[in-house]
Structure 1
Amino acid sequence: MTHPGEITRRQLLRRIGLTAFVAGPGAGLLSACATAGGGGTPSSAAPATTLAASADPKNPFGVDPNKPLEVTIFSGGYTDAYAKDIHEPMYKKAFPGASIKHNATQQIGIQLRPRFVSGDAPDVVNNSGPESMDLVALAGQGHLADLSVLFDAPSYDDPGKKVRDTVTPAVITNAKIDGKDLVLNYTVSHRALWYNARLFEQKGWTVPKTWAEFTALGELAKKEGILLFAYPGQVGPYYQTWNVLYTAAKIGGNQVIIDIDNLVDNAWLADPVKKAVAAWVDVQTKYGDKAYFGLDHTQTQVKQLQNKLLFYPTGSWIENEMVKDIPDDFEYAIAPIPDVTPTDAMPYGAIQVGVGENFVVGAKGKNPQGGLEYLRIMLSKEGAKGFTEKTQNLTVVNGAAEGVDLPAALRSAAKAQDAAGQNIITDARFEGWYKELFDYATEQINVVMAGRSTPEEFCANVQKKADEIKKDSKVSKQTRSE
């Protein structure tokens, strides 16, 4: 049975560019701590700045070859080496007379919001991490350059193809804010539960497919002093927000998340949401440890590497993020969310696949033409392959990862995606559309998981916040159909 928002396997492969990857490593695989873009409907937002295209296929935006370029990168799980060692040198090779100012930070919003407001934005911004900027707000103020000229430009590798024809179509779908192409999502990721395959092999344990099997494994692990599940209560609690949302979609289908994104009345009060919250609160109560509410994501991930917890909710960037700390007896593998009820709308094996890791061009920066060309370089096969080699994460560029030796986590994710077929859990776009709502939901996740509120109170509180945003005429509203 196919539910709204679910797609066939062939549609999925076309969207995320993995046709070659399924046969062998081939194309784009989201993001280290990213916020996603999203489709929208026109509103009263300021018009996006659209730059005129040039007739020169090698310089389609008319870049001044001697004009400086400023690039700001979120230095999180992916670090900033891919920019310094791959993309910036490619730009410098194309324009030897241009200097490049490179800035790496984990405080994107804190550093850049004042600069956007003052009209002194960097030319390229990797808007990611817990301090990421509200892109809808920036779009409404005309701070983001229109990327349609980029998507319609000749590709870096083949002038006979447009850029839009070389990437997964999900890039274009998720680029839109208020109907304009304003955001480039560069990576593809799989979010689910992650575990140590070596430990399971050693213990003779099998990955649980039902909630009864999941909790039974929790009892076994508890006897050995191992937690069944944990998430970071500090700097990363949104991992559990994602996990609850994907569990709700597992129970009720993707329409649950679509309704939340569209601010449908009482969407947070839907039965699948309540059941998802209740299920995870029960796991935390019986098999968790409140001490983890004081840990950040790195500290929690180290605990998993020490086999102090079995399952951790995150994305396929996890292996690269922890690569320096992974012991020889640890092998990351992905586990789908177990069946919560006998009547879950999506069968066992459903996982979330999405595009992410936002990049934008500052419309009021000093060199937006250079910013567009920088993104075109990123979307070349050389630029994308270099990113994959540096980060061990796949991009949205079709065929760019062919020949790259992928690590265990990505091999496991690819296998899980193949098994999932059409049962792909959609991304929650309200994270990027209504950041205030997402941040509030994440605050409440810690409250309910710690037992300081009930699942019913959690749903009611977040629904109240969603209602406030829906009624706020100053907030630009977005919609999606799938």
Structure 2
Amino acid sequence: MTAFVAGPGAGLLSACATAGAGGDPTAAPATSIAASANPKNPFGADAKKPLEVVIFSGGYGDAYAKDLHEELYKKAFPGVSIKHTATQQIGTQLRPRFIGGDAPDVLNNSGPESMDLAALAAEGHLADLTPLFDAPSIDDPAKKVRDTVTPAVLDNAKIDGRDLVLNYTVSHRALWYNAKLFESRQWTVPKTWAEFTALGETAKQEGILLFAYPGQKGPYYQLWNVLYTAAKIGGNQVILDIDNLVDNAWTAAPVNQAVAVWVDVQTKYGDKAYFGLDHTQTQVKQLQNEVLFYPVGSWIENEMAKDKPADFEYAIAPIPDVTASDAMPYGAIQVGVGENFVVAAKGQNPRGGLEYLRVMLSKEGARGFTEKTKNLTVVNGAAEGLDLPAGLMSAARAQDAAGQNIITDARFEGWYKELFDYGTEQINVVMAGRSTPQEFCDRMQEKADAVKNDSSVAKQTRSQ
């Protein structure tokens, strides 16, 4: 399974998103739902049956669901009632409901409390999305839904070989900075690690941190950053080995080196006070030009839109060359699909859940999402002609410049949540200087080995 890759010159906008169980005992199991001959209602959803939708209210907010997707669903089924819930406590609120057989029909599983999808799949809680991908597109019934989205959607949908997850957005994770600040100081974006640290010295003289990440509710941003740096040094095989639980994957030299260089940056150009801040507080500090580079994804622009001052313009910077022999050249960035949605197999209305996702994958649903969130979706052609913000255009240019040099996404986050959660704890420990880079790698390898040797954990594999 791979992250979405745009070919050289493809262009972001054209290539990607232009870029006891509960329920009605008479309802057919979600796994048996097949597309019918009716293109307007291919899953045979009951037009009068209520639907429940739970949305993670993070960087994208929830207006796109409440004011757009749910309204489009109601347009298709006039008079239907939809229960809408927005929360940041996905696991806390939803885990007991799944266990109790009272799961919502559609779940946006995201954020620091996201649920373990592999575990939910193993317990039979996730509806098969193959009928969704094989259903006729709302925009063109002659096309299947699978033919209207970037192929990475289909690659990343699978758990244990089954289509169970819809990733809805295209995201760019790298280092984000204020282009207007750089322009006013006549600074250039560093391409080598020597240039990066030299800029750190210059910024320090002006009371600006070279780099920061949130120690609370966002340390996984830095875990991602370290892994992408390791891939920059050693190639995407580094991440594939970690995902595949290959022996000694975490203790490989590129991983150790990536941890070491970022610990060095934190020590010399960071501030331990940020370990006590959450993502919003840290992002406000960057908007106040107290931080130059922040490791995050392209949702940042919308997330901070209300707080962003006029003299701040988000732009994306690739990870600088760490060595003269990095496996991936300067300009390589991570581009992937994300923001996953699932339908509860044991929910009250799985047929309606599938139809809701089909609505999301219409051009109207996808274009509206981009308009409301300033982020791209996986629906081809949906964002053509939209006036996109500066940060998103910067990401589009960066993806075009990267060509085939795309850093893959790490999949163990969804496959082995216990390992990922442990990593988010340990990255704070090592970045704060309470362990060495080698100790971090050893601890992560020990944890990965424990997962590998645990017969109760379903194992996943990827080849690219």
Decide: shared fold, TM above 0.5: yes
Match of 2:325 among 343, 355, 372: 343
1:404 pairs with 2:386: yes
Letter in 1 for 2:447: K
SS in 2 for 1:111: helix
Match of 1:474 among 450, 456, 464: 456
**Kept in 2: contact 1:123–1:366 (CA 8 A):** yes
1:147 pairs with 2:129: yes
SS in 2 for 1:121: coil
Q: Which residue of 2 aligns with 1:213?
A: 195
Give the deviation of 1:10 after TM superposition. 2.5
Distance 1:6 1:160, change over 3 A: closer
Q: Which residue of 2 aligns with 1:36?
A: none
**Kept in 1: contact 2:3–2:152 (CA 8 A):** no
In structure 2, what is the Cα distance between the partners aligned to 1:176 and 1:405? 33
Match of 1:21 among 14, 24, 28: 14
Give the deviation of 1:118 after TM superposition. 1.4
**Kept in 1: contact 2:12–2:400 (CA 8 A):** no
Structure 2 unaligned spans of 5+: 20-28
**Kept in 2: contact 1:5–1:258 (CA 8 A):** no
In structure 1, what is the Cα distance between the partners aligned to 2:215 and 2:32? 41
In structure 2, what is the Cα distance between the partners aligned to 1:101 and 1:360? 16
In structure 2, what is the Cα distance between the partners aligned to 1:277 and 1:102? 41
Letter in 1 for 2:43: F
1:64 pairs with 2:46: yes
SS in 1 for 2:32: coil
1:464 pairs with 2:446: yes
In structure 1, what is the Cα distance between the partners aligned to 2:386 and 2:104? 32
SS in 2 for 1:10: coil
Distance 1:170 1:320, change over 3 A: same
Give the deviation of 1:19 after TM superposition. 5.8
Distance 1:359 1:173, change over 3 A: same
Note the alpha carbon deviations across 1:70-110, whole angstroms, 9 max, x for none. 11111111110001111011110110131111111111111
Match of 1:10 among 7, 11, 17: 7
What's the % identity of the aligned pairs? 80
Distance 1:353 1:119, change over 3 A: same
Give the deviation of 1:119 after TM superposition. 1.3
Letter in 1 for 2:47: P
In structure 1, what is the Cα distance between the partners aligned to 2:170 and 2:360? 14
Moved >3 Å (runs of 4+) = 4-9, 18-22
In structure 1, what is the Cα distance between the partners aligned to 2:112 and 2:13? 33
Give the deviation of 1:442 after TM superposition. 1.0
**Kept in 1: contact 2:12–2:399 (CA 8 A):** no
Letter in 2 for 1:450: A
In structure 2, what is the Cα distance between the partners aligned to 1:199 and 1:304? 11
Aligned residues: 455
Q: Which residue of 2 aligns with 1:74?
A: 56
Note the alpha carbon deviations across 1:271-311, whole angstroms, 9 max, x for none. 00000000000000000000000000000000000000100
SS in 1 for 2:80: coil
Match of 1:234 among 196, 209, 216: 216
1:95 pairs with 2:67: no
1:430 pairs with 2:412: yes
Question: Considering only aligned residues, what root-mean-square deviation do their CA atoms show, in Å?
Answer: 1.6
In structure 2, what is the Cα distance between the partners aligned to 1:184 and 1:7? 14
In structure 1, what is the Cα distance between the partners aligned to 2:262 and 2:158? 33
Match of 1:110 among 61, 85, 92: 92
SS in 2 for 1:233: coil
SS in 2 for 1:268: coil
In structure 1, what is the Cα distance between the partners aligned to 2:56 and 2:101? 20
Match of 1:268 among 250, 275, 282: 250
Distance 1:268 1:219, change over 3 A: same
In structure 2, what is the Cα distance between the partners aligned to 1:19 and 1:132? 28
SS in 2 for 1:398: coil
**Kept in 1: contact 2:43–2:354 (CA 8 A):** yes
In structure 2, what is the Cα distance between the partners aligned to 1:298 and 1:19? 28
Give the deviation of 1:51 after TM superposition. 1.4
Distance 1:361 1:293, change over 3 A: same
In structure 1, what is the Cα distance between the partners aligned to 2:259 and 2:129? 38
SS in 2 for 1:269: coil
Match of 1:84 among 59, 63, 66: 66
Letter in 2 for 1:175: A
Match of 2:316 among 334, 337, 341: 334
TM-score by length of 1: 0.92
Give the deviation of 1:449 after TM superposition. 0.3
In structure 2, what is the Cα distance between the partners aligned to 1:8 and 1:295? 34
Structure 1 unaligned spans of 5+: 30-46
Match of 1:289 among 271, 282, 286: 271
Letter in 2 for 1:167: V
Give the deviation of 1:120 after TM superposition. 1.2
Distance 1:156 1:9, change over 3 A: closer
In structure 1, what is the Cα distance between the partners aligned to 2:30 and 2:456? 18
In structure 2, what is the Cα distance between the partners aligned to 1:166 and 1:280? 40
In structure 1, what is the Cα distance between the partners aligned to 2:416 and 2:17? 30
In structure 1, what is the Cα distance between the partners aligned to 2:443 and 2:32? 40
Distance 1:9 1:124, change over 3 A: closer
Note the alpha carbon deviations across 1:121-168, whole angstroms, 9 max, x for none. 111100001011000000000000000000000001111000000000
Q: Which deviates further from its counterpart, 112-121 or 427-436?
A: 112-121
Q: Which residue of 2 aligns with 1:278?
A: 260
1:357 pairs with 2:347: no
**Kept in 2: contact 1:48–1:180 (CA 8 A):** no
In structure 1, what is the Cα distance between the partners aligned to 2:449 and 2:356? 40
Letter in 1 for 2:362: S
